[in-house]
Amino acid sequence: MLDNPLAPHAFGVGGWSWRDAAHLLRRAQYGVSPDEIERATQAGPVATIDRLIRPQAESAEFTSAEALLRQTALDTGSTANLQAWWLYRLGHSANPLTEKMTFFWHNLFATSNEKVKDVALMLAQNDLFRAQALGNYAGLLHAMARDPAMLIWLDGNANRRRHPNENFAREVMELFSLGVGNYTEKDIQEAARGFTGWHMREGVFWFNASQHDTGDKTVLGVKGNLDGDSVIDICLKQAACPRFIAMRLLKTFVMPEPGEAALAAVSASIRRNGFVMGPVLRELLTSRLFFSGEARGSLIKSPLDLVLGTQRALVPAPRLEPTISRLSALGQDLFLPPTVKGWEGGRLWISSTTYLLRANFAAELTKGDLYGQLIDLEAEARRHQLQTPGEATRYYCDLLLASEPAQAVRVRLEAFASSAGSQAVRDRGLIHLILALPEQQLM
């Protein structure tokens, strides 16, 4: 194909720039610190994507803190503590893309502890997502059909030979693999029979043979004594399946409304790579599509992107409890997706109420230490030589905004910075203002 959107991006005359590195990291992790951008700029695109995709060793501090938080979640059985554990991982892991993809799967196979009511099972499901974060989607889909949390969530034990429950079979097609319009109601009814007797017992998957329907079923044109695994294999063979996953990847990592060419290319890549995500993501995140002007700054930040991203840039040791409650107010309670559809995101994140909360988050973050101490602004100014209001405005816009702000915005920011008092007061006010901007909601 002549203009394959997934062809590697040719970095122009200036080569791989600070701005390119920032774009890649903002999308591949939850926010980015100035040091990380600097390191990635030095390392170049190949090493950077390599570091993101290849497993990196975690620090001793991370390992022990993570274990303590994990044990606390198990000990208390509290969803808030489970959220704290994952937020710690999201903010501190040496494998940020793995964590982001873990969330991708959590959002796809959206399971809520509201119904599961078992922190250990939710944690086990999350570990499964993590283990396969950059691994095989097909394997993950098969695993989900046997995952205890999922079995509780979609009423697995109610799916019996003479009373099939369609809940799981419907979501496998509608939300987990194909999307609406790629199957019929009849397909769901037949598929549900395939999953009869796929039960949970004593906290683990159990094939209840006496409740399994061994009769012939026809799913998506395939006839036979189909069981759950064969139903899933049939779904995976559908052309709609890789397209469905491709659409989710594009909307998560690239742009809100990808065109047909992009969809077809990513879908082909998924098929070619046998549903293994690592190589697909490597291709996608280094593609000309990913670095195109159309893609940059086009995604509305989820609360996780906004809150964790801001903290990664400005708060070295964030407090998790206020972070959890702010995420909750903004509509993103980890492990508690609103429905089996997960968080739909995009423009739905933004309403009057949530915009105010986002702006007020900026004020609270910069005013006190509710979310933790802000970086030392005086040291930052010395390090980056931020003397004039113009220099400070430019530096913090580059760090915090995905795209250069319009001239009219920059002029106003500079005017504000010029009228502020000392350097530290000025920069604090400037950061607050940039964080409250509509531009800040994009990445």
Beta strands in 154-280 (DSSP E): 198-201, 204-207, 217-219, 222-224
- Does position 307 interact with another protein (CB under 8 A)? The reply is no
Binds another protein by CB under 8 A, chosen from 17, 71, 225, 387: 71
Site mask, another protein, residues 108-137, x = CB under 8 A?
---------x--------------------
- Does position 348 interact with another protein (CB under 8 A)? The reply is yes
Rank residues 178 and 409 by Cβ distance to another protein and give the closer one: 409
Nearest to 133 by CA among 342, 276, 296: 276
DSSP-derived secondary structure letter, 348: G
- Quick one: tokens of 50? 């390599």
- Does position 393 interact with another protein (CB under 8 A)? The reply is no
Residue 121 · residue 205 · CB < 8 Å:
no
Q: Which amino acid is at 57?
A: A
Binds another protein by CB under 8 A, chosen from 38, 50, 75, 127: 75
Rank residues 127 and 257 by Cβ distance to another protein and give the closer one: 257
Nearest to 157 by CA among 227, 208, 88: 208
- Does position 339 interact with another protein (CB under 8 A)? The reply is yes
- Does position 208 interact with another protein (CB under 8 A)? The reply is no
Nearest to 258 by CA among 247, 243, 270, 267: 247
Query: What is the C-alpha to C-alpha distance for residues 414 and 420, in angstroms, rounded to an integer?
Result: 10
| Stretch of 180-188, 238-246, 362-370, 380-388 lying at the interface with another protein (CB under 8 A) | 362-370
Binds another protein by CB under 8 A, chosen from 16, 30, 86, 88: 88
Cα 161 to Cα 74, 154, 197, 207, 434: the distances in Å are 35, 16, 7, 12, 59
Q: Which amino acid is at 78?
A: S
By CB under 8 A, the count of residues binding another protein is 70
Q: Which amino acid is at 241?
A: C
| Stretch of 237-245, 246-254, 349-357, 389-397 lying at the interface with another protein (CB under 8 A) | 349-357
Rank residues 38 and 369 by Cβ distance to another protein and give the closer one: 369
Rank residues 54 and 201 by Cβ distance to another protein and give the closer one: 201
The phi, psi pair for 49, rounded to 5°, reads: -65, -35
- Does position 255 interact with another protein (CB under 8 A)? The reply is yes
Q: Which amino acid is at 397?
A: C
Query: What is the C-alpha to C-alpha distance for residues 258 and 210, in angstroms, rounded to an integer?
Result: 47
- Does position 429 interact with another protein (CB under 8 A)? The reply is yes
Query: What is the C-alpha to C-alpha distance for residues 70 and 211, in angstroms, rounded to an integer?
Result: 36
Binds another protein by CB under 8 A, chosen from 29, 41, 81, 423: 81
Binds another protein by CB under 8 A, chosen from 50, 127, 294, 376: 294
- Does position 226 interact with another protein (CB under 8 A)? The reply is no
Residue 327 · residue 333 · CB < 8 Å:
yes
Minimum gap (Å) between residue 371 Cβ and another protein: 8
Minimum gap (Å) between residue 72 Cβ and another protein: 4
Residue 326 · residue 333 · CB < 8 Å:
no
Q: Which residues bind another protein (CB under 8 A)?
A: 61, 64-65, 68-69, 71-72, 74-77, 81, 84, 88, 117, 255-257, 294, 296-300, 317-321, 339, 347-348, 350-353, 355-356, 359-360, 362-364, 366-367, 369, 372-373, 403, 406, 408-409, 412-413, 415-416, 419-421, 425, 428-429, 432-433, 436-439, 441-442
